[in-house]
Structure 1
């Protein structure tokens, strides 16, 4: 990856990159429609960028989504992650014959994404830590590739705007951009939200979005790791890489709330958060709890609560109250219901939502009608970022403030050296940027 000069923002870097690659992007777009039919072969070639657990899962689902698809390139910052992912995929029943990733198409380092994209793939799966999503998405679209982009798609407002620009460009090039906001691909949620938007519970007044869960993995620092090496290994705990967990994880439930409101977004947010159990440096600079109240112009609210602590009761759900009834959405079996004068419960067997994302992505490519989830994946990411701004600063944050925020979390350089560990935010002290 080309280092970003200390005086440059990511926005400037992305702009420069756009100009530098415009010629190759045009050629890529012109040739894309013929690529999968070269020499009579209609196989779709897939490249994986980011070989962690979610990336490995996404690659598996992509390979199962279509009978004529192959994984032909992989890239990650770390070789051991790539090898572990490749071995896991080859060991998965039914996938070995669909994997053709020789050593020359295994790429490691910050610039691995460029090499995967340039390797002759048709579809790229973007599953690195979220910080890199805007940069990788832009490169993929410029090169004429269809994209699966894991959630969230950015960790700051400049990243959100970069994603929106790339998704608009994807529309012009007839390229698919499918988001990893997988609850939009979950049959029970689709049916419940359809009913809610059709007025089943009347006007929605309050949405309670809970994501209470225990602690997750952590990567203790090893003696020979540089600052950047450790932060990249332990990426979940650094806001510049993950966005904090209310962005990285809770974006799912926040997105469903916006979806239920007709893809309309709140105008302001106020909240609180902090660190009760994540005390040591191994926990980077993220919080362990966030509570945010979002408000719509008509007074409707999202009450957003998320927590990652041991020994506490877990609850991952969305409860909606309207003028005519209520709804409950959870991922448990029979956990999606609407209560009015009568009670409706989704009781059918639901297909795997992660698989459905890829089934629909590849079907849309084959049909020449590529899906583009760009607008909601960007705006829902900003919705979560807006909440983090409120909890970090302790101030009321409007949608307009979040939209125009200049805070760019990009480090000075992408290099395996020293990088300061960002401070933990202090509400009332940390300033909005």
Structure 2
């Protein structure tokens, strides 16, 4: 499809003239075997973003990667080499030196070249980039988590509403929802297999997800250092309670048929070793008691410290039995008898359904299938973790309404942001970064 026609039709969609999924898809020229290739752009060239692009390029839908954007040129070059190595048909990778966009503002130009934008940046940057992608009329893959504070949460919801008006497809990286095993067990829960749920638990307890052992180079600004180690800084990643634990929190929201909890009371802690994820400007352990409607109490455990007991899964307790989800999922009645089991052998792996997300998105766009927009539940799951983080940092019990009305921003991403900008947190004279102090830290 010619570029000028695409821009023209995107403008019509923005104006609300093309209102139905079919009208939009037809205008873009995506109609099965007669369609051209979908043009893809990758914003944020880390492992997950690269993996998502790789899955899209290897899938059945004709596509080509035309642009890449990242804060760092070496990240673009290294991940482009990975893609070239992993794709037999290198003709589908059309990134040139002119379509590599470096720096905090490069995403705008990359988005302009694409039909589908893959956003794999740290969570702090996603609301602004997602907003721009939707403004330009592009379909989006939005990796989780999607925001780090209430301000970003509202940006995502507002952009998602515009995406719905324009019928722009949005897929989110909460890939457990694509697992047949999870779908089967959630269906059993929703069908009343364990009766009325009164309590639940979820865990993501594992090793560090950040690494500050890599040396700091003399020519790096502090902003560059922190962004090259973004998982270790809570302002960029949101901390471990959303960077990984978001998967568990999303399953809880899904299983309870509730978009969000009513309130939370949390407590957290930091290892004295500053190399651990979330320990710089945040906590690397958070325990929360979320309250949901109908009196459901849910305990959440998020920890990323090495050499400790690991645990990952979700548990539900009801009037007729319980559900245990780990690598497999089992339902027991109140006598401890197994009444349903979904195994990875029968249903496939419960985790790692990344390729299914990309296949669904690409197929839906290309073949004009039923419209979907996953940005809302991704935002709700992210905000659930944010609420827990806010409670742990402040020491306060917070309601959902209070948390979502907070005006405290972890990072203000503007058109002037650059690698010479000052990051949100700085070391003190002793080389230490600040730590939240419950009872003093302001989150509202």
Equivalence for 2:286: 290
- Out of 293, 304, 323, the position equivalent to 1:308 is 304
- Out of 102, 106, 110, the position equivalent to 1:112 is 106
Contact 1:28 1:143 in 2 (8 A): no
Contact 1:274 1:287 in 2 (8 A): yes
Deviates more, 1:150-159 or 1:94-103: 94-103
- CA-CA distance at 1:177 after TM superposition: 0.8
- Report the Cα distance in structure 2 between the residues aligned to 1:56 and 1:431, rounded to whole angstroms: 36
Structure 1 position 180 matched with structure 2 position 178: no
- CA-CA distance at 1:37 after TM superposition: 5.6
- CA-CA distance at 1:125 after TM superposition: 0.3
Structure 2 counterpart SS, 1:246: helix
Structure 1 position 199 matched with structure 2 position 192: yes
Equivalence for 1:266: 261
Equivalence for 1:17: none
Structure 2 counterpart SS, 1:278: coil
- Out of 345, 359, 369, the position equivalent to 2:341 is 345
- Report the Cα distance in structure 2 between the residues aligned to 1:248 and 1:72, rounded to whole angstroms: 28
Call closer, same or farther: CA 1:45–1:36 in 2, change over 3 Å. Answer: farther
Call closer, same or farther: CA 1:281–1:263 in 2, change over 3 Å. Answer: closer
- CA-CA distance at 1:222 after TM superposition: 1.9
- Report the Cα distance in structure 2 between the residues aligned to 1:230 and 1:90, rounded to whole angstroms: 28
Equivalence for 2:418: 415
Contact 2:35 2:366 in 1 (8 A): no
Contact 1:213 1:314 in 2 (8 A): yes
Structure 1 counterpart SS, 2:261: coil
Give TM-score, length-normalised by structure 2: 0.86
Structure 2 counterpart SS, 1:298: helix
How many pairs does the alignment contain? 407
- Report the Cα distance in structure 2 between the residues aligned to 1:33 and 1:99, rounded to whole angstroms: 25
- Report the Cα distance in structure 2 between the residues aligned to 1:350 and 1:98, rounded to whole angstroms: 30
Equivalence for 2:431: none
Equivalence for 2:440: 429
Matched ranges for 1:63-212 at <5 A: 63-119=57-113, 121-212=114-205
Call closer, same or farther: CA 1:281–1:382 in 2, change over 3 Å. Answer: closer
Matched ranges for 1:253-402 at <5 A: 253-279=248-274, 283-330=279-326, 332=327, 335-340=328-333, 341-347=337-343, 348-350=346-348, 352-368=352-368, 369-402=370-403
Call closer, same or farther: CA 1:101–1:43 in 2, change over 3 Å. Answer: same
- CA-CA distance at 1:217 after TM superposition: 3.7
- Report the Cα distance in structure 2 between the residues aligned to 1:95 and 1:140, rounded to whole angstroms: 27
- CA-CA distance at 1:97 after TM superposition: 3.6
- Report the Cα distance in structure 2 between the residues aligned to 1:281 and 1:373, rounded to whole angstroms: 31
- Out of 235, 239, 258, the position equivalent to 1:240 is 235
Structure 1 position 26 matched with structure 2 position 29: no
1:346-381 deviations in Å (ceiling 9; x for gaps): 131426510111111112213323320122111111
Equivalence for 2:3: none
- Report the Cα distance in structure 1 between the residues aligned to 2:341 and 2:195, rounded to whole angstroms: 18
Give TM-score, length-normalised by structure 1: 0.88
- Report the Cα distance in structure 2 between the residues aligned to 1:89 and 1:249, rounded to whole angstroms: 25
Deviates more, 1:282-291 or 1:27-36: 27-36
1:158-200 deviations in Å (ceiling 9; x for gaps): 1111111111111111110111111111111111111111111
- Report the Cα distance in structure 1 between the residues aligned to 2:229 and 2:112, rounded to whole angstroms: 28
Contact 1:48 1:73 in 2 (8 A): yes
Q: Which runs of 5+ in 2 are unaligned?
A: 1-7, 19-23, 427-433
- CA-CA distance at 1:263 after TM superposition: 2.8
Contact 1:89 1:95 in 2 (8 A): no
Call closer, same or farther: CA 1:222–1:187 in 2, change over 3 Å. Answer: same
Equivalence for 2:208: 215
- Report the Cα distance in structure 2 between the residues aligned to 1:195 and 1:32, rounded to whole angstroms: 35
Structure 2 counterpart SS, 1:317: strand
Q: Which runs of 5+ in 1 are unaligned?
A: 1-22
- CA-CA distance at 1:142 after TM superposition: 0.9
Root mean square deviation of aligned Cα: 2.3
